[in-house]
Amino acid sequence: MLDFLNKIFLTAPDAPPMQDAEKAKSIFYSLCWRVFASITIGYAFYYIIRQSYSVIKKPLLASGAVDPTQVGIIGSIFFVTYGLGKFTNSFLADRMNNKRFFAFGLFMSSVTMTAMGLVNSFVPLAVLWGINGWFQSYGAGPSIVSLNQWFSNRMRGTLYGVWFTSHNLGSSFAYFAIAAIVSAYSWSMGFIAAGLISLVGTVFIYLGMSDRPETRGLPNGAVLYGEKTQAQVDEEKTRSVGSMQWNAVVKNPAVWILGLSSLCVYIARYAVESWGVVYLTSAKGYDIMGAAGVMAYMQVAGIFGALLCGWISDRFFHSKRNMPALIYGLLYTASIAGFVWAPQSSITAVGGEKIYDFGYATEFWVGAALLSTLLALLVWNAKPQDEA
């Protein structure tokens, strides 16, 4: 069984190098943009699934199928499995044929999302959303690894920013389209529609993605862009992927600090994205379409932010990320504070009973955003482990 899975998912061996260097370059440059389009649009489909639950959450509560505590538990299970999966599967992505790995994750996520529309009680919803979290973790690792395999470091800031718009594209689609489907039909149709729509993304990824350049007889990306010599690449291949990951990643304190910083960013970000619709409808007086519209506009604004952040760091900071990270971190913290501390009571009362109390939660969201910025400052001048 393990051998069978290895044949399907492990990266292929290097093919004999193409003798015509110009033809190899032409094919490389053509394929690299197909790969980039695949990881950007493909990851947007991942986000259609992920953010649809945020849209469906309020109607799901209104149906009586689950209560607010159970909704929170379901969401927490997702993030536990997603976090564990992201840690595991991002390490595996360095060894995988990411065309298949990336497409398989979205396929399984689509299947479990569709299945959630066919059940209507807490336990099966929690189990399926937890499984979904694991397969959602197949998205980020393969995307970043592919970006590193096919593009120069000088281009990655800009291209990472463009790729990051996939988060916003998928989320805004969920806030507009899935919200409309839920309003017109039911919460269960929201799950089913998100799953079926994302199956299209599976096909798109499989047709557009590619394994490493060397598996097609093309030059290594770093060699092609003049960042490494072929001798350096050949020497790296004599070392195991595991040993390089251990020395350059696991033993590097800067990676752990940045990981904690990213964790805090995601706490604030997912708090707003996961509970934003509920928060706005319960604490600010919006209806579901109005709340979904606010969240969708946030995602549209995020597209411009993502496009600009990488380009600015490449163009004005010579591909250094520390100062742009500080500037964006401070703006991020201020925007979270503005979102949650705008005038209006943070408590919704029905018959004198408190239904949602976001008071302490919103302070935690702002604190997490600020802490992420402070942690990033600790590694202001960090360098890759082999260069330090």
| Residues 6+ positions from 310 with CB-CB distance below 8 Å | 156, 157, 158, 159, 160, 161, 162, 164
**pLDDT number for residue 374:** 66
Nearest to 129 by CA among 193, 195, 64: 195
- Report the DSSP beta bridge partners of residue 350: 353
Angstrom distance (rounded) from CA 269 to CA 292:
16
User: Coil, strand, or helix at residue 87?
Assistant: helix
Spatial contact of 313 and 319, defined as CB atoms under 8 Å apart: yes
Give the model's confidence band at 3: pLDDT under 50 very low, under 70 low, under 90 confident, else very high.
low
The mean of the pLDDT values for the chain is 81
Spatial contact of 379 and 258, defined as CB atoms under 8 Å apart: yes
Angstrom distance (rounded) from CA 126 to CA 28:
44
| Residues 6+ positions from 146 with CB-CB distance below 8 Å | 35, 39, 98, 102, 209
- Does the pLDDT value for residue 60 go beyond 70? yes
Lowest-pLDDT range of 33-37, 88-92, 331-335, 344-348: 344-348
DSSP string, 361-385: HHHHHHHHHHHHHHHHHTTTT---T
DSSP string, 9-57: HBPPPPPPPPS-HHHHHHHHHHHHHHHHHHHHHHHHHHHHHHHHHHHHH
User: Coil, strand, or helix at residue 227?
Assistant: coil
- Does the pLDDT value for residue 5 go beyond 70? no
Spatial contact of 56 and 190, defined as CB atoms under 8 Å apart: yes
- Does the pLDDT value for residue 342 go beyond 70? no
**pLDDT number for residue 81:** 94
The model's pTM is 0.76
**pLDDT number for residue 381:** 60
**pLDDT number for residue 305:** 74
> DSSP secondary-structure letter at 287?
-
Cα distances from 354 to residues 18, 67, 300, 358, in angstroms, run: 69, 14, 33, 11
- Does the pLDDT value for residue 343 go beyond 80? no
Q: Among the residues of 94-152, which ranges form H helices? A: 98-116, 122-136, 140-150
- Report the DSSP beta bridge partners of residue 202: none
Angstrom distance (rounded) from CA 308 to CA 164:
11
- Report the DSSP beta bridge partners of residue 354: 349
Q: What average pLDDT does this structure show over 279-305?
A: 75
User: Coil, strand, or helix at residue 226?
Assistant: coil
Angle, vertex CA 300, rays to CA 139 and CA 280, nearest 5: 95
Angstrom distance (rounded) from CA 111 to CA 170:
17
| Residues 6+ positions from 284 with CB-CB distance below 8 Å | 291, 342, 344
Angle, vertex CA 139, rays to CA 162 and CA 307, nearest 5: 10
Residues 132-165 have pLDDT tens digits of 999 999 998 899 999 989 998 888 778 888 898 8
Give the model's confidence band at 353: pLDDT under 50 very low, under 70 low, under 90 confident, else very high.
very low
Angstrom distance (rounded) from CA 34 to CA 2:
30
- Does the pLDDT value for residue 63 go beyond 70? yes
